[in-house]
Chain A
């Protein structure tokens, strides 16, 4: 990642730019909003448990949107929930990131045609940074999504958030 490349040997001095330091801090402590919507949430829980241990990437569940950087939309988003997801996203402080996990929140999944109550993709209400395909995705796939998001943050600049680029 480049942050530690410029260290002097045998000292506590590290040379880096403010930008690199901020990005390193952001991508290493992606606090996640603690909520799940359907069966994808079970896989998300498996990813949090010891076999996959999502915390080694700095992803820690927090129970309030004010303390979170990352929203993992894990499961079917109903129309009733869509309005609440929008509100939760609005309550998160910036910079904020969204991972859409599973077919349902990507595009409506199996409910795309006859789901009278299902939102056909969470990107209709909030901007999504990373889409994780699968029904449901395995925990490895979610970890891949986290790593992709970290890559994305690493390539941001302070001036412009790459998520909207």
Chain B
């Protein structure tokens, strides 16, 4: 299926929840409402003509002044087509619906995004930090992150 057909199918089923799209980009993307990602992803996975059965990557992006976003690269191993989904959320109240019930891959990827960016994935089964220590202050990949002076009494800066 072409990206345009995928977009039309999503528009027909979710209407309001499909926000923007840029289909002439090198990797065509569609942005969706952050509180509807689970339903949309279930639709992408289970519809016979789409069959997006493989989440290739889930990444988080800090768009500096504007917002945080999560980017989903999905691929269909049967239909051989792919599409990029984006979900934007405000910096100070970063909530996005978890898709870990759709693709198991998303579980740890969402934990990493939570650890590094502080994005809270609603309905995630086990949302803990995955890399940094549990008591680490802040989310290190946010653009406004400042390295702490001390961690447990250990001086951190060089």
**Residues of A in contact with B (beta carbons under 8 Å apart):** 79-80, 82-83, 107-108, 112-113, 116-117, 119-120, 124-125
Contact = CB atoms under 8 A, between A and B. Distances in A.
Which secondary structure dominates where chain B touches chain A? loop
B157 A120 contact: yes
Nearest to A125: B154
Interface in B128-158: 131-133, 136, 140, 145, 147, 151-152, 154-158
Contacts, number: 32
Given A79-B133, A80-B132, A80-B133, A119 B154 contact: yes
Q: Chain B interface: which size bin? A: 10 to 19
A120 B149 CA distance: 12
A103 B112 CA distance: 27
A82 B154 contact: yes
B147 A124 contact: no
Contacts of B155: 120, 124
17 contacts: A79-B136, A79-B151, A79-B152, A79-B154, A82-B154, A83-B133, A108-B158, A112-B158, A116-B140, A116-B145, A116-B147, A116-B156, A117-B131, A117-B140, A119-B156, A120-B155, A120-B158
Nearest to B141: A116
Nearest to A107: B158
Contacts of B147: 116
Contacts of A120: 155-158
Given A79-B133, A79-B136, A80-B133, A113 B158 contact: yes
B63 to A, nearest CB: 20
Nearest to A81: B133
Contacts of A79: 133, 136, 151-152, 154, 156
Interface in B97-138: 131-133, 136
B150 to A, nearest CB: 10
B158 A117 contact: no
Interface string B29-53: 0000000000000000000000000
Contacts of B133: 79-80, 83
